[in-house]
Amino acid sequence: MSDWTAIEALPSPRLTELFEADPARLDTFSLDVAGLHFDWSKTHLTREAVAAFAALAKAKDLAGRRDAMFAGEHVNVTEDRPVEHTAERGEGNPESVSRARHYQARMRALIDAIEADAFGPVRHILHVGIGGSALGPDLIVDALGREADRYDVAIVSNVDGVALEDAFERFDPAATLLVIASKTFTTTETMLNANSAIAWMTEHDVDDPYGRVIALTASPEKAVEWGVDETRVLPFSEGVGGRYSLWSSIGFPAALALGWDRFEELLEGAAEMDRHFRLAALHENAPALAAFADLYYTQVRHAETRAPFAYDQRLRLLPSYLQQLEMESNGKSVTVDGQPVGRPTAAITWGGVGTDAQHAVFQLLHQGTHLVPVEFIAVIEAGDTLAEDHHRQLLLNAFAQGAALMKGKQVDDPARSYSGDRPSSTILLDMLDARTLGALIAFYEQRVFVNGILLGINSFDQFGVELGKEMAKAADQGGQEFDPSTTDLIRRAGLN
């Protein structure tokens, strides 16, 4: 009997029947943690399902693996590294935490220096980085930066020069700080963008452009080699994975845009979620329950995707942030021991912003043939100051969509009927501030971790991104034999 037998045998009653059968259902499947309210009552999770997943968690030693991660053991086995992003928020082994604190002190000192005009007047922050070196800071600055209005921040990731030119057009080169964010300090796109930004400053007669560069990296020696003065290199630990790095010096533009105190609140919010994850029993543990629902849909109901929708404009970048976090972490085919995993791993994460998405993709969610677990993320306190109609409409729409997905509607005309029984979960924040956003992101990280452990995979490597990069590099150097189709495309674009 496999560890999954009891889970695969779980019955699939309709959601409305689950509510009818259990008057306490809402209480059982909702939870309040760190200013976030979670509601999984409109998913097919049952007490029986939670018990079956808890048994699986025991068999997979979830508690042991979790403690090993926080203790700094090398749980990233394929890269033989610890997983240290929680140490950035003070939750980890003392050595990792104290190293993180030391690096944060450097970061803070540099922010103080910028604020004290050590670089002359600075209005613009041009941050170049990609993947985890861009998505996290971008999310934080976009969600919380507009309130602070301290610096104009552009986060440029795409190697398409149009992205960089857009920033050049907005920015005054003499009032710009160039921030190069790269864990490895070798990523082609980032280094090309960095070189072009230096050329732009030089063309505009900026005195000593390299003197206006700040490097955020786990490879400080490479940054120095590239031309950044050691005093302006903000290191972070190798054990902090790229997609988990916004808490480290990679969060520098966020700390600058929000101010240090709010950056610390972000870390504290995340730490509060970490403590909840470590200490709460599984049946009232938010990341664990969310992961159980994920796994119920991927393993039992064969859902291939999941779709978070941010019903808050400030969180519009959350779905793309989650795509990297979830798909780069758990989009794997082999177990930690290198064996075929033998079952579906991460669902494809896609999603969008409400209410826009209702007028675009919700048709498929309500009447399409795919089962898509939907997640609504909304905030009680409005982000806008307009008459309350806007926020009222926003929230009512989010809640009504969840109700409609579950309830459905049967009429004589099949084209106008809705099958219902379509699952959704809701995360409702009291307010969106640094603390709750920190807790929200940490929740997603730990949920990914639980998924990974129960699937038996390593969530912390990403070898799948290498092959395409290698082939592009080889093609650039003329050393790659391609198939006829690719050869033809290269020829047509005049690249050979």
Nearer residue to ligand F6P within complex by CB, 5 or 333 = 333
- What tokens appear for 218 in the block? 């786990």
| 42 lies in the site for ligand F6P, by CB under 6 A | no
| 132 lies in the site for ligand F6P, by CB under 6 A | yes
Which of the stretches 7-15, 126-134, 277-285, 391-399 binds ligand F6P when contact is defined by CB under 6 A?
Answer: 126-134
| 251 lies in the site for ligand F6P, by CB under 6 A | no
- What tokens appear for 421 in the block? 């029984």
| 422 lies in the site for ligand F6P, by CB under 6 A | no
| 237 lies in the site for ligand F6P, by CB under 6 A | no
Of 84, 272, 328, 445, catalytic:
328
Which of the stretches 169-177, 184-192, 361-369, 445-453 binds ligand F6P when contact is defined by CB under 6 A?
Answer: 184-192
| 182 lies in the site for ligand F6P, by CB under 6 A | yes
Q: What is the CA radius of gyration of the chain?
A: 24
Cβ atoms of 261 and 271 within 8 Å: the answer is: no
What is the distance between the alpha carbons of residues 103 and 90, in angstroms, rounded to a whole number?
Answer: 13
Nearer residue to ligand F6P within complex by CB, 248 or 358 = 248
Please select the residue that binds ligand F6P; options are 187, 345, 451, 459, rule is CB under 6 A: 187
Nearer residue to ligand F6P within complex by CB, 184 or 335 = 184
| 127 lies in the site for ligand F6P, by CB under 6 A | no
Of 58, 102, 409, 469, catalytic:
469
User: Is 366 among the catalytic positions?
Assistant: no
Please select the residue that binds ligand F6P; options are 85, 127, 183, 447, rule is CB under 6 A: 183
Neighbours of 315 (CB within 10 A): 24
| 133 lies in the site for ligand F6P, by CB under 6 A | yes
Nearer residue to ligand F6P within complex by CB, 173 or 242 = 242
| 130 lies in the site for ligand F6P, by CB under 6 A | yes
Q: How far is the CB of 239 from ligand F6P (least distance, A)?
A: 14
User: Is 469 among the catalytic positions?
Assistant: yes
| 282 lies in the site for ligand F6P, by CB under 6 A | no
Nearest to 86 by CA among 274, 241, 288, 328: 274
Write the binding mask 293 to 332 for ligand F6P: x where contact by CB under 6 A, - elsewhere: -----------------------------------x----
| 458 lies in the site for ligand F6P, by CB under 6 A | no
Neighbours of 117 (CB within 10 A): 9
Nearer residue to ligand F6P within complex by CB, 176 or 193 = 193
What is the distance between the alpha carbons of residues 462 and 40, in angstroms, rounded to a whole number?
Answer: 30
| 243 lies in the site for ligand F6P, by CB under 6 A | yes
Cβ atoms of 247 and 88 within 8 Å: the answer is: yes
Residue 317 — φ and ψ, nearest 5°? -90, -5
- What tokens appear for 358 in the block? 């209702």
Please select the residue that binds ligand F6P; options are 16, 184, 480, 487, rule is CB under 6 A: 184
Of 169, 359, 466, 481, catalytic:
359
Residue 370 — φ and ψ, nearest 5°? -90, 145
**Interface with ligand F6P (CB under 6 A):** 130-133, 182-184, 187, 190, 242-243, 328, 462, 465
Catalytic residue ranges: 328, 359, 469
